Structure 1
Amino acid sequence: MEKYGKIGLGGEAMPAINEIMAKRDQILSTAAQYKFFNVRLFGSVLRGEEKTESDIDFLVECGEDCSLFDLISLKYDLEEILGRKIDVVTPDSVHWTLKDKILQEARPI
């Protein structure tokens, strides 16, 4: 398997959104293991503008005891599940110049 970018049965690139929805339960349970919830998708994959090198952008919320280590661990686990580069951010970690746009665009998986 390629490190990033799944290939469908016919050899064509499988859109990431299809892969996300197929693995939705696994993604949500992995996030919950680290006490993250309200897992949302934003960015090029959500807009249908992804390229083969595009990463998948997730916005998550966490309880009081989540750490940066938990966020990084979630990122690596999701990369393993989806076989693509992943970015995971929280509303508090998003730069203020992008925050409103991301919060408006983000959709639950």
Structure 2
Amino acid sequence: MKGQSEIARELQGMMAELRGKYHVKKIGIFGSYSSDRQTEKSDLDLVVEFEQPIGMMAFVHLRNMIADRLGIRVDLVTPDGLHPLIRDRVMHEVVYV
């Protein structure tokens, strides 16, 4: 099972494509993978910020592309997509790549 550092390296290796194709400004890991508490059943929680809006279809394509490349189920969210009651906690635990 991949850990946080390996996933961060793989995401960093994708950043040129993510910036060029999806206008990704920043992407970070949160949840169980951010503190290496993941299990075989864990999905990878990622928060992403964009240079410009990309639309729902491109957002879904981005999530699917990352999941396919990493071989892990991915839950992708923007900071504004986080519930207000957990946003601050999540944003403090994010490990940006």
Q: Which TM-score tier does this pair reach, normalised by the shorter chain?
A: 0.7 to 0.9
| Deviation of the 1:19 alpha carbon | 3.3
Deviation at 1:18, TM superposition (A): 4.1
Q: 2:3 is matched by which residue type in structure 1?
A: A
Q: Which residue in the other structure is 2:28 paired with?
A: 40
In structure 1, give the amino acid aligned to 2:26: N
Quote the offset at 1:104 in angstroms. 0.8
What is the TM-score normalised by the length of structure 2?
0.86
Letter in 1 for 2:11: R
Taking the aligned partners of 1:37 and 1:27, their CA distance within structure 2 comes to 12
> 1:3 maps to what in 2?
none
Are positions 1:24 and 2:11 aligned together?
yes
Match of 2:66 among 78, 99, 102: 78
Tell me the CA shift for residue 22 of structure 1.
3.9
Given the two structures, how large is their TM-score scaled by the length of structure 1?
Answer: 0.78
Q: Per-residue deviation at 1:55?
A: 0.6
Trace 1:94-109 onto structure 2 (pairs within 5 A).
94-109=82-97
**Paired residue for 2:39, among 51, 58, 70?**
51
Deviation at 1:24, TM superposition (A): 3.0
- Segments of 5+ residues of structure 2 without an aligned counterpart are none
Give the Cα–Cα distance (whole angstroms) in 2 for the partners of residues 57 and 22 of structure 1: 16
Higher helix share: 2
Q: How many residues align?
A: 96
Q: Cα RMSD (Å) of the superposition?
A: 1.6
Report the Cα distance in structure 1 between the residues aligned to 2:14 and 2:86, rounded to whole angstroms: 25
Change (3 A) 1:38 1:55: same
Q: 1:94 to 1:72 in 2, by over 3 A?
A: same
* 8 A Cα contact 2:25 2:49, kept in partner: yes
d(CA) in 2 for partners of 1:42, 1:35 = 21
